[in-house]
Structure 1
Amino acid sequence: MDALQTGRITFIRSPRADDAAEWIELVRASRRFHAPWISAASTPEAFEAFLRRNEAAEFEAFVICRRHDGAIVGSTNLSQIFMGPFRSAYMGYWAGAPYAGQGYMTEGVGLVLTHAFRAMGLHRVEANLQPENAASRALVQRLGFTQEGYSPRYLKIAGRWRDHERWAILSENWRPSRARRASAK
């Protein structure tokens, strides 16, 4: 995917092999911030595996970059992409600790949603988050997701089965302007 640059403060693009050093440095600098929510690729081998996974039809990853200097501020991905009559995907995302709380993720994830609904033709995107992750919940709420349920011991992260809330947004409910307004605050 070429870069999508309709954002005020961010743009998104596909990850590249030459992102490895910057990505790994950001993940390692954010390790304490991410625990226990995620475990992103933090070694050259894990990053290479991530890039190989991105070649699969059912997975599409994006780096969220700061517009003025191109720095990677976070990442998001669409996984288990189902086309046909289902037209759905799961979304995962993370922000680098130095960039948290500055609107980058709201705008970047918003760009990915626009890509998912317009370019890919998806109908539904689901995000599953741990109940204790207030920042993640606030992000999906700002973007217009609706909570659909609760799944005990849903996903194994950092060696533990963790409960998750299920949030989703449908294409007809997506308003790109919501992300622009929220990131401007």
Structure 2
Amino acid sequence: MDNFEDFFTEAFETATLKGNLVTLKGIRENAPGAASAENIFATIENSRDFLAEHLPWIPETDIFDLKKRIRSWVLNERFGQGGCWLIFRNSPTDPEGDFAGSIMMDVNLRNRSATLSYWLAKQFTGQGLMTESVKLITKFAFERLKLNRLELLVSVHNGKSAAVATRCGFMEEGINRDYELINGKFVDHRRFSLLARDVY
């Protein structure tokens, strides 16, 4: 692996990752059914107030903006710069599962690192879905993609998201002051990281 960038670009894909509680599937343009932009948007709409508390892009998002975001993630995957997985809660009665949210990976190839971000619709919180999703992505990032570092940035007001990071073995490194403008206010974020050597 003399040239990591070449290796990574060839290896990177939003592969389907299956756990006990969830299945992660790469986002696609013009996908049908539960993975469609229309269904994703309907899920956001039903949890808009809940999601807007910590996600600055939610208040202004409409179906056209969402489709642009999907296109952007598809391009990021194509160029090995990152990807977006849709989170489906496994269902014994529906093989497709219930769409619950998404988890994203922004890659820094030079440093062999990536930043994760995620969201869940309100009705799917408190069920362990995001904890398992982060663990699936972590395993994929270190074992398949050979990344060295993952990080998460979590609003200081978002205790539930910080708890996910801790349950997944991430270590808190400090505070990024005024990191993000949310609902007209600058918000500090807690920075968490996990290294490959912490796990393997």
Instruction: Give the TM-score range, shorter chain.
Output: 0.7 to 0.9
What runs of 5+ residues in structure 1 fail to find an aligned partner?
176-185
Is the 2:156–2:187 contact (alpha carbons within 8 Å) kept by the matching residues of 1? no
Partner residue, 2:10: none
Q: Aligned equivalents of 1:159 and 1:53: distance in 2?
A: 25
- Contact residue 37 and residue 66 of structure 2 kept, 8 A: yes
Q: Deviations over 1:32-91 (max 9, x none)?
A: 212320134842212211122211232211111112232111111011x1124x101111
- Counterpart of 1:3, as a letter, is T
Q: Which runs of 4+ in 1 moved over 4 A?
A: none
- Mapped to 2, the partners of 1:174 and 1:46 lie a distance apart of 38
**Residue 46 (str. 1) matches residue 69 (str. 2):** no
Q: Shift in Å at residue 2 of structure 1? A: 3.5
Whose Rg is larger? 2
**Which amino acid in structure 2 is aligned with residue 108 of structure 1?**
S
Distance 1:29 1:174, change over 3 A: farther
- Aligned residues of 1:28 and 1:42 also touching (Cα < 8 A): no
In structure 2, do the counterparts of structure 1 residues 48 and 35 end up closer, same or farther at CA, with 3 Å as the change threshold?
closer
Q: Which residue identity lines up with residue 63 of structure 1 in the other structure?
A: L
Superposition map of 1:16-165 within 5 A: 16=28, 17-18=30-31, 19-38=36-55, 39-40=57-58, 42-54=61-73, 55-56=75-76, 57-68=80-91, 69=94, 70-79=97-106, 81-84=107-110, 86-165=111-190
- SS of match in other structure, 2:17: coil
**TM-score between the two structures when normalised by the length of structure 2:** 0.80
SS at the partner of 2:135? helix
Secondary structure of 2:27's partner?
coil
Give the C-alpha shift of residue 123 in structure 1: 0.8
CA RMSD of aligned residues (A): 1.7
In the alignment of these two chains, the number of paired residues is 172
